[in-house]
Chains A and B, each alone.
Chain A
Amino acid sequence: QKEVEQNSGPLSVPEGAIASLNCTYSDRGSQSFFWYRQYSGKSPELIMSIYSNGDKEDGRFTAQLNKASQYVSLLIRDSQPSDSATYLCAVNTSGGSYIPTFGRGTSLIVHP
């Protein structure tokens, strides 16, 4: 069974700090990795995608992928209270169906 694991949190960080969110996955054939942000009562929205090993930066967000260790992480620099949300990791696995498997999400709280 293909699994995507995340610490449910909550992860609490002060405003201006770096928030680090982690995700591990079980299927070594996984090819695409996504981070979604979900505000309370809202639908998930894509914030980052990464497909190859290494870092990918987009503004205050950096996604890191290590396929050998089967983990993907999301760093949020200069965290703001508006970043407070649940962050969902999603993995598209191999095999032709390309149906993503979602983690249970990590709740992030950024306090002033």
Chain B
Amino acid sequence: NAGVTQTPKFQVLKTGQSMTLQCAQDMNHNSMYWYRQDPGMGLRLIYYSASEGTTDKGEVPNGYNVSRLNKREFSLRLESAAPSQTSVYFCASPSSRSSTDTQYFGPGTRLTVL
């Protein structure tokens, strides 16, 4: 039982390049989330998926797209990377869709855009 996994762990891109961050969970949770974390900014929600087949924008969705491939997998795509997207990206999955649910986080992807 690996929990939430993310690939890659590190990535360096040039401005304008594209890439997809992968996330998978083996806890049979319905919801999955993508956050970015910047120094002094805390965790900001990019996109989330409340269930398989649905996705919704979070606080900072511009420049990103997502795909909920199946119940296990939720990917985040940068179509044309910009230096402002340099950040640490965390995928998370709450234990249940209720007011008491807690977030289980993946190990994160450190992305640098030059």
Contacts and interface: CB of A to CB of B under 8 A. Distances in A.
Interface residues of A, number: 24
Interface residues of B, number: 23
Interface of B: 33, 40-45, 48, 50, 58, 90, 94, 97-103, 105-108
Contacts, number: 52
A51 B100 contact: yes
A103 B42 CA distance: 6
Interface string A81-100: 00000001010101001111
Interface of A: 8, 31-32, 34, 36, 42-46, 49, 51, 88, 90, 92, 94, 97-100, 102-105
Contact of A99 (B41, B45, B90, B98): B45
Nearest to A30: B99
Contacts of B42: 88, 102-105
Contacts of A100: 103
